């Protein structure tokens, strides 16, 4: 039997975000369960299931997109954890952020770097 978009999405969510992604989806159950389902089905079941990019490449793109959008620090934190979870070293995450300076400016890059620093420190501690 063929897997549903939701089942594929849950598998990808686990591969990418581990427990962090599950926590986000669970946090939506009492207020916006459809939003959680849309995230699982579309973002992880459709988009992340596509061929052509590795999970690491997808996470780097996601990190820089969130940084560029600005004001997305909670989601940025989830995806910094996801980037670490799929094997992207902290130095590469910071380098991707630095690449954004000419295009998005120092304030957004600083916000992303400080979010990353907090998470990196927690992982060490």
Q: What is the pLDDT of residue 23?
A: 87
Provide the token pair at 120. Answer: 């990196």
86 pLDDT tier (thresholds 50, 70, 90)? very high
Give pLDDT, residue 72. Answer: 94
Whether 92 and 99 have beta carbons less than 8 Å apart is answered as no
Establish how many alpha carbons lie within 13 A of residue 94's alpha carbon, considering only the half-sphere containing its beta carbon. 10
Closest CA to 113 of 89, 125, 95: 95
Query: By CB neighbour count within 10 A (0-12 exposed, 13-18 middle, 19+ buried), where does 52 fall?
Result: exposed
pLDDT in tens, 90-109: 999 999 999 999 999 999 99
**Band of the pLDDT at 67, cuts 50, 70, 90?**
very high
């Amino acid at each position: 039997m063929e897997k549903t978009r939701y089942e594929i999405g849950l598998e990808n969510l686990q591969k990418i975000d581990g427990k962090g992604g599950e926590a986000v989806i669970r946090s939506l159950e009492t207020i916006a369960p459809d939003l959680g389902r849309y995230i699982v089905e579309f973002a992880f079941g459709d988009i992340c299931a596509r061929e052509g990019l590795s999970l690491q490449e997808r996470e780097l793109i996601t990190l820089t997109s969130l940084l560029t959008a600005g004001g997305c620090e909670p989601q940025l934190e989830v995806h910094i954890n996801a980037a670490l979870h799929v094997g992207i070293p902290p130095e590469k995450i910071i380098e991707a952020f630095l690449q954004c300076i000419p295009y998005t400016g120092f304030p957004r890059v600083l916000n992303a770097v400080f979010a990353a620093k907090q998470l990196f420190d927690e992982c060490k501690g």
